[in-house]
Structure 1
Amino acid sequence: MTPARTPVLLRAIYGLFGAAALALCVFMLVFFTRWLVSLAPVAGFLAEYPGAAPMPAGSGVGIPAWLSWTHFLNAFFLLLIIRSGVRIRGEKSPSGLWTSRRVKKRRMSLTMWFHVAVDVLWMLNGLVFVVLLFATGHWVRIVPTSWEVFPHALSALIQYVSLDWPTHSGWTGYNALQQLSYFAIVFVASPLAILTGARLSAFWPRGADRLNRLYPLDLAKAVHYPVMLFFAGFAVVHVGLVFATGALRNLNAMYAGQDAVNWTGFWIFTVSVLAMAGGWVAARDRVIAPIARLFGDVRMRGR
Structure 2
Amino acid sequence: MPQHYPPLVIITHLLNILFMVLLGRSGLEVLAAHPKLYWSDHCPPGRQWLRLSRKEFGSDSRRPWTSQDEEESWNPVLALPGRKNLGLGRHWHFLTLQFWIATGVVYIAFAVASGYWRYLVPTSWSVFPQAVRDVGTYLTFRFPAQLPGEPFNAAQKLAYFAVVFLLAPLQIATGAAMSPAVIGRFPWYAKLFGGKQGARSLHFLGLVAFAAFTVLHTAMVILHGLPEGLAKILLGSAEADHALAVGIGLLALALIIIVQVLATVASLRSPRTAERLTGAIAGPMQRGLSRLLPSCQRYRRSDISPYHRVNGYPPTGEEYERAARRGSAGYRLVVGGLVEQPAAFSLDELRALGTQHQIVNHNCIQGWNAIAAWAGVPVARLLDVVRPLPQARYAVFYAMDDKGLTDGREGRYGYYYEAVALHLLRHDQSLLAMDMNGGPLPVEHGAPLRLRVENQLGFKMVKWVRGIELVERVDHIGRGRGGFREDQQYYANPVGI
Same fold by TM-score, threshold 0.5 exceeded?
yes
For 1:250, which of 229, 253, 258 is the aligned residue?
229
Checking the alignment, whether the CA contact within 8 Å between 1:116 and 1:201 is kept in structure 2 is no
> CA 1:94–1:117 in 2, change beyond 3 Å: closer, same or farther?
farther
1:91-102 residue pairs with structure 2 within 5 A? 91=33, 92=71
Matching residue of 2:489: 301
Q: Which has the higher helix share?
A: 1
Q: Structure 1: which amino acid aligns with 2:165? A: F
> CA 1:141–1:61 in 2, change beyond 3 Å: closer, same or farther?
farther
> CA 1:294–1:162 in 2, change beyond 3 Å: closer, same or farther?
same
For 1:67, which of 9, 24, 44 is the aligned residue?
9
How many angstroms apart in 1 are the aligned matches of 2:31 and 2:226? Answer: 35
Q: Structure 2: which amino acid aligns with 1:232? A: A
> CA 1:94–1:210 in 2, change beyond 3 Å: closer, same or farther?
farther
Higher-Rg structure is: 2
1:162 Cα deviation (Å)? 1.4
Say whether residues 1:152 and 2:340 are aligned partners.
no
Q: Which has the higher strand share?
A: 2
Q: Structure 2: which amino acid aligns with 1:249? A: E
For 2:259, which of 279, 283, 303 is the aligned residue?
279
In structure 1, list runs of 5 or more residues that go unmatched. Answer: 1-57, 96-107
Matching residue of 1:181: 159
SS of the residue corresponding to residue 184 of structure 2 reads coil
Q: Number of paired residues? A: 233
Matching residue of 2:107: 129
> CA 1:211–1:166 in 2, change beyond 3 Å: closer, same or farther?
closer
SS of the residue corresponding to residue 487 of structure 2 reads strand
Say whether residues 1:239 and 2:181 are aligned partners.
no
Say whether residues 1:227 and 2:206 are aligned partners.
yes
Q: Deviations over 1:199-221 (max 9, x none)?
A: 22455352444545556212211
Checking the alignment, whether the CA contact within 8 Å between 1:61 and 1:172 is kept in structure 2 is no
Checking the alignment, whether the CA contact within 8 Å between 2:30 and 2:89 is kept in structure 1 is yes
1:114 Cα deviation (Å)? 1.3
1:90 Cα deviation (Å)? 1.5
Q: Deviations over 1:237-268 (max 9, x none)?
A: 00111011111111001101223162121111
Checking the alignment, whether the CA contact within 8 Å between 1:251 and 1:265 is kept in structure 2 is yes
Task: Give the TM-score normalised by the residue count of structure 1.
Answer: 0.69
Q: Deviations over 1:9-60 (max 9, x none)?
A: xxxxxxxxxxxxxxxxxxxxxxxxxxxxxxxxxxxxxxxxxxxxxxxxx5x6
1:69 Cα deviation (Å)? 0.2
How many angstroms apart in 2 are the aligned matches of 1:183 and 1:267? Answer: 29
1:256-275 residue pairs with structure 2 within 5 A? 256-260=235-239, 262-275=242-255
Percent identity over the alignment is 26
Matching residue of 1:25: none
Say whether residues 1:83 and 2:15 are aligned partners.
no
Checking the alignment, whether the CA contact within 8 Å between 1:196 and 1:224 is kept in structure 2 is yes
Q: Considering only aligned residues, what root-mean-square deviation do their CA atoms show, in Å?
A: 2.8
